[in-house]
């Protein structure tokens, strides 16, 4: 609902997720956008009707840790980001190893 994004460094993502979980937030979604320099990840967290958006800037080939051990539902979004965008997400609780989507066109999409 809002256009404000809190910028978080890739290496601080688990700390941030844990802090939000303790504050009573749930994970709403995670998504990636391809940029000229790499990727922009947007993680959305909700508490009642409130939304908090976290943005992470990644360089090409820069890995990021999974938050699926903090928010179990994250495994779906993270496998999607890995398959469709080629983002290296480490330690996903249920890692489909690139077999989450079975597409006729080779992924990640360029």
Partner 1 sequence: MSTRSVIPFGPQHPVLPEPIHLDLVLEDEKVVQAIPSIGFIHRGLEKLVDKKDFHEMVYVAERICGICSLGHGLGYCDAVEHIMDLEVPDRAKFLRTMLSELSRMHSHMLWLGLLADAFGFESLYMECWRIREEILDMFEMATGGRVIFSIMKIGGLRRDIPDDMLKDFRQRLDSIEEGLKMVSKPFFDDVAVKNRLVGVGILTPEKADLLGTAGPFLRASGIARDIRSTGYCAYDKIEFEPIISTDCDSYARTEVRIKELYQSIDIMRQCIDKMPAGEVDLQVKPNQLPNGEYMARIEQPRGEALYYVKANGTKFIDRMRVRTPTFANIPALVDILAGCDFADVPILVLTIDPCISCTER
Q: What CA–CA distances, in Å, run from 54 to 21, 89, 91, 94, 107? A: 13, 17, 20, 23, 26
Binding mask 85-104 for partner 1 (x = CB under 8 A): ---------x-x--xxxxx-
What span, in angstroms and rounded, lies between the C-alpha atoms of 40 and 56? Answer: 6
| 14 lines the binding site for partner 1 (CB under 8 A) | no
| Helices (runs of H) and strands (runs of E) counted in the chain | 2, 6
- State yes or no: residue 27 binds partner 1 (CB under 8 A): yes
Task: Closer to partner 1 by CB, 10 or 28: give it.
Answer: 28
Measured from the CB atom, the residue of 11 and 91 that comes closer to partner 1 is 91
Q: Which is nearer to partner 1, 11 or 98 (CB)?
A: 98
Q: Is 48 in the site for partner 1 (CB under 8 A)?
A: yes
Closest C-alpha to 33, from 72, 5, 75, 70:
5
Contact call for residue 75 and partner 1 (CB under 8 A): yes
31 near partner 1, judged by CB under 8 A: yes
Answer whether 75's CB lies under 8 Å from 96's CB: no
């Amino acid at each position: 609902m809002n256009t404000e994004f809190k910028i978080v460094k890739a290496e601080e993502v688990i700390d941030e997720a844990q802090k939000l979980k303790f504050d009573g937030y749930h994970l709403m979604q995670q998504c990636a956008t391809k940029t000229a320099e790499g990727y922009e990840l947007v993680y959305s967290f909700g508490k009642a009707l409130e939304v908090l958006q976290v943005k992470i800037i990644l360089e090409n080939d820069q890995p990021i840790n999974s938050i699926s051990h903090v928010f179990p539902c994250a495994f779906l979004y993270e496998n999607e980001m890995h398959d469709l965008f080629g983002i290296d997400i480490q330690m996903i609780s249920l890692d489909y190893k690139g077999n989450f989507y079975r597409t006729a066109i080779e992924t990640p999409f360029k």
